[in-house]
């Protein structure tokens, strides 16, 4: 069996350490790498068309949120907002939010999550892809948080914020 060194952000490593006894890191990485290589090589297994359509419709909110979170971090977020997000938020915080109004706009003045989400909803209506139950704002917010958090993790060393 071949061996491979893996480099991950410190914050991910800290999360892993808390659950180390429940995670087979080698297996998780091997499965994820195999899926990525299958996709790049065009050999991903064909799935039922109905399932694919369902996943595309329901799974679009996380990537949209991630895209918007990255854009916020790159274009509008202040260092104070990024530090505040890092200190106060984690995956559980985002998952447990009752609604988008739980975000304190005084602490995050440049954050426009609600406006961005509304734009996606309007775009879907215009394109005829409106969902009866509305947007999956939790998946959107989780994606937004991951996008902003991951870029901040990469930028901190260059900004001397470690």
Q: In a structure prediction context, what are the per-residue pLDDT tens digits for the chain, which is 162 residues long?
A: 788 888 888 888 888 888 888 888 888 888 888 777 766 666 656 566 776 666 666 678 889 999 999 999 999 999 999 999 999 888 888 888 877 777 777 888 898 888 888 888 888 888 776 665 667 888 888 899 999 999 999 999 998 876
Instruction: Say what the pLDDT of residue 129 is.
Output: 63
Tokens 């901040």 appear where? Answer: 152
Asked if residue 58 and residue 105 are part of one domain, the reply reads yes
Classify residue 1: in a domain, yes or no: no
- Residue 150 and residue 97 in one domain: yes
- Rounded Cα–Cα distance for residues 90 and 153 (Å): 13
Q: Are residues 67 and 143 in the same domain?
A: yes
The reply to whether 3 falls in a domain is no
| Pair (75, 151) in one structural domain | yes
Q: Say yes or no: 102 and 141 in one domain.
A: yes
My answer on whether 14 and 64 are in the same domain is: no
pLDDT of residue 55: 66
User: pTM, whole model, 2 decimals?
Assistant: 0.64
| Residue 84 located in a structural domain | yes
pLDDT at residue number 95:
81
Q: Which pLDDT belongs to residue 61?
A: 87
- How many domains does the chain contain in total? 2
| Whether residue 143 sits in one domain with residue 93 | yes
| Crossing angle between the packed helical segments 137-159 and 113-126, to the nearest 10 degrees | 130
* CA angle at 91 for the pair 159 and 151, rounded to the nearest 5°: 25
Question: According to the model, what pLDDT value does residue 28 have?
Answer: 83
Contact 89, 145 (CB under 8 A): yes
Q: In Å, what is the CA distance from 20 to each residue of 6, 16, 49, 87, 133?
A: 15, 6, 37, 23, 37
pLDDT of residue 67: 94
Q: Which helix (H) or strand (E) holds 11?
A: helix 10-18
Indicate if 77 and 154 belong to the same structural domain.
yes
Does 4 fall in a domain?
no
Whether residues 59 and 128 share a domain: the answer is: yes
Task: Decide if 33 contacts 41 (C-beta within 8 A).
Answer: no
Same structural domain, 22 and 98: no
Residue numbers of the domain that contains 140: 51-159
Query: 3-state DSSP helix/strand/coil percent for the chain, to nearest 5?
Result: 70, 0, 30
Q: Do 74 and 110 share a structural domain?
A: yes
Answer yes or no: is 121 within a domain.
yes
Cα torsion at 151, 152, 156, 159 (round to 10°)? 90
Same domain, 96 and 123: yes
């Amino acid at each position: 069996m071949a061996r491979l060194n893996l480099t991950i952000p410190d914050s991910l490593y800290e999360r892993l350490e808390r659950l180390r006894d429940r995670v087979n890191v080698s297996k998780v990485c091997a499965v994820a790498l195999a899926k990525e290589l299958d996709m790049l090589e065009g050999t991903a297994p064909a799935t039922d068309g109905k399932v694919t359509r369902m996943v595309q419709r329901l799974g679009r909110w996380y990537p949209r949120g991630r895209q918007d979170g990255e854009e916020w971090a790159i274009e509008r977020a202040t260092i104070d907002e990024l530090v505040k997000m890092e200190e106060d938020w984690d995956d559980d915080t985002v998952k447990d939010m009752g609604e988008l109004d739980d975000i304190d706009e005084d602490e995050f003045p440049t954050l426009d999550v609600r406006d961005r989400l509304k734009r996606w909803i309007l775009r879907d209506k215009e394109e005829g892809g409106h969902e009866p139950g509305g947007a999956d704002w939790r998946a959107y917010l989780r994606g937004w948080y991951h996008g902003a958090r991951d870029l901040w993790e990469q930028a901190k060393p260059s900004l001397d914020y470690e």
